[in-house]
Amino acid sequence: MNVKLLSLIERRVNKAIQLLSEFLSNSKNHDDLLEKQVSGYTDVVIETHIALFKALDIVPHDFLYSVREIQIYYHPGLKSNVQLNKKVISYLNEVTGAALAGSSGSGYSFIPLHLNFYSSFSNISTVFGLCLIDHSAKTAKIFFHEFTLNTRQINFSSHSLNYLDNVLLKFKSDPSVNIRNLSKINNLSYQQFQKDCRQYFGTTFYDFTIKLKMMDVVEDLMFSKLMIKEIVYKHRFAEYSNMYKFFHRTYHFPFKDITRLYYGDKS
């Protein structure tokens, strides 16, 4: 798997967890947020994004990784029966301890969690999750997913193609620009440009931009109150049927599989 795509997945999931933290912080009924609900929200957000990445073939079907869903308490100090890496323990103690030390009064707050670390010589792990701080009780409940994969599956040799990041930025600033003209920025033939894109993005330039737009749409569906038609306009799809086609027919990721958190249901 290309390190570029792995980095994209990490950024997207991390942003989604941050948006979930904001969503929960804005909830008017913190007292009614049971542990199972917070855990459930975290599961939905992470599992929806992993399913999306698989549907878009950002995560190859033969890509191997393991995942653990973990819940632990801080009262004070971590209370867990699950074996954790020392770096995870140190990170959680630092984040949670700092939040509680600086808290006063009552109420709840949510802290997004994100950590990368080498869990062994050949394995790298990433933690995504939420920490629910109870300021009155001076305790915390931590919900996170720990993903682990072998670094042999990662292709680190594509740094020479970093120029495509600038091309992508140029396209985002002006989507009307002709893709063939973009290929001329580095004095490349169109064929070489698309070859580089397939190596770096895993697909053609145009298809990759569609996948990025679909990720943005999923983000808005989950974390905003925008209506579908507003999302179509925001992300510059020609019309609703055009966006529908990509989700339902091209990549088989129907709207019904996306939970709209502000509406408490699926699209």
**pLDDT tier, 160 (very low <50, low <70, confident <90, very high otherwise):** confident
* DSSP per-residue letters across 181-248: HHTTTTT--HHHHHHHHHHHTSS-HHHHHHHHHHHHHHHHHHH----HHHHHHHTT-SSHHHHHHIII
Look at residue 192 in the predicted model and tell me its pLDDT.
93
* Vertex 265 angle, CA 264 and 267, to 5°: 130
Residue 249: pLDDT above 90? Answer: yes
Q: For 57-61, 74-78, 162-166, 235-239, which range has the lowest pLDDT when averaged over its residues?
A: 74-78
Residue 96 dihedral angles phi and psi, to the nearest 5° = -70, -45
Look at residue 33 in the predicted model and tell me its pLDDT.
61
Look at 165 and 102; give whichever has higher pLDDT. 165
Q: What is the pLDDT of residues 51-80, one digit of tens each?
A: 999 999 999 888 889 999 999 999 878 888
Q: For 84-93, 101-110, 179-188, which range has the lowest pLDDT when averaged over its residues?
A: 101-110
Alpha-carbon torsion (55, 59, 60, 64), positive or negative: negative
Residue 248: pLDDT above 60? Answer: yes
CATH of 160-266, one of 1.10.10.60, 1.10.1060.10, 1.10.3720.10, 3.40.50.620: 1.10.10.60
Look at residue 37 in the predicted model and tell me its pLDDT.
82
Alpha-carbon torsion (171, 174, 179, 182), positive or negative: negative
Q: Dmax of the chain from CA atoms?
A: 64
Look at residue 28 in the predicted model and tell me its pLDDT.
63
Look at residue 19 in the predicted model and tell me its pLDDT.
97
**pLDDT tier, 87 (very low <50, low <70, confident <90, very high otherwise):** very high
Look at residue 106 in the predicted model and tell me its pLDDT.
78
Q: If you average pLDDT over residues 176-183, what whole number do you get?
A: 87
Strand intervals (E) in 76-204: 78-79, 108-118, 123-134, 139-150
Q: For 34-43, 68-77, 121-130, 254-263, which range has the lowest pLDDT when averaged over its residues?
A: 34-43
Look at residue 188 in the predicted model and tell me its pLDDT.
86
pTM of the shown model: 0.91
Domain ranges in the chain are 3-153, 160-266
